[in-house]
Amino acid sequence: MMSNQDLDSQKKAAALAAVEFVRDGMIVGLGTGSTAKHMVMALGEKVRSGMRLRGVPTSKETAALATQQGITLIDADNAWVIDVAIDGADQVDPGFNLIKGGGGALLKEKIVAASAKQFIVLVDHTKRVPVLGGSFPLPIEVIPFGWGSTAREIQALTKSSVVLRERDGLPFKTEAGHVILDVHLPRIDNPRELEIALNQIPGVVETGLFVGRTDLLIVGTANGVESYPVTRA
């Protein structure tokens, strides 16, 4: 059985492969999560070796780590064009669609991914699945006002269990002050259709479905790193 240490080594290997796509002078979207953490630290090494780059972080946690690593951050209120965004994922299907948001940063992550000229996704091999859903719930960021009503509409649409995410017995709040509903779908056969339908529900801010956004998937495996360039439809 694969240990957590083995999986962490795979994440680190994928991160090291990803930062090789970063060139001097680039603006880089910095993801959030355990795999993205390795990427930020690897970029810090490049900065200390003389590379000039600026980062757009997707969470306060990532911003703090990037600052610690000596990476210059761009003010979030500025208009920026991101050369490359690098982030992890909770699940990846054969069509390179993703579920993200396990860490609660999905809104900023999607804004950054959408703003990037290239979106690189890093995972260890356990994150690849034949179909999205099942073992991992789909996070949906919603406005706190009337969240129960929003949850009922999501439940009616998906015919699946909808659970308010909590932390320490209280509703989990995102950095934007929203709450997250985790939808336990057995399988998501048409991610694009579901994403469009969910976004029609009043109160939904963003979903954790990242459909048709991946440009390059880098997978850490027991036998090394595998890369899959994606041709977007």
Catalytic residues: 109
Q: Report the 10 Å Cβ neighbour count for 193.
A: 11
Residue pair 56/112 in contact by the 8 Å Cβ criterion: yes
Map 174-189 to HEC letters: CCCCCEEEEEECCCEC
CA distances to 30, 96, 230 from 120, rounded to whole Å, are 11, 11, 10
36's CB contacts (< 8 A; 6+ apart) are 15, 30, 58, 62, 86, 87, 88, 122
Q: Report the 10 Å Cβ neighbour count for 68.
A: 11
Residue pair 120/85 in contact by the 8 Å Cβ criterion: yes
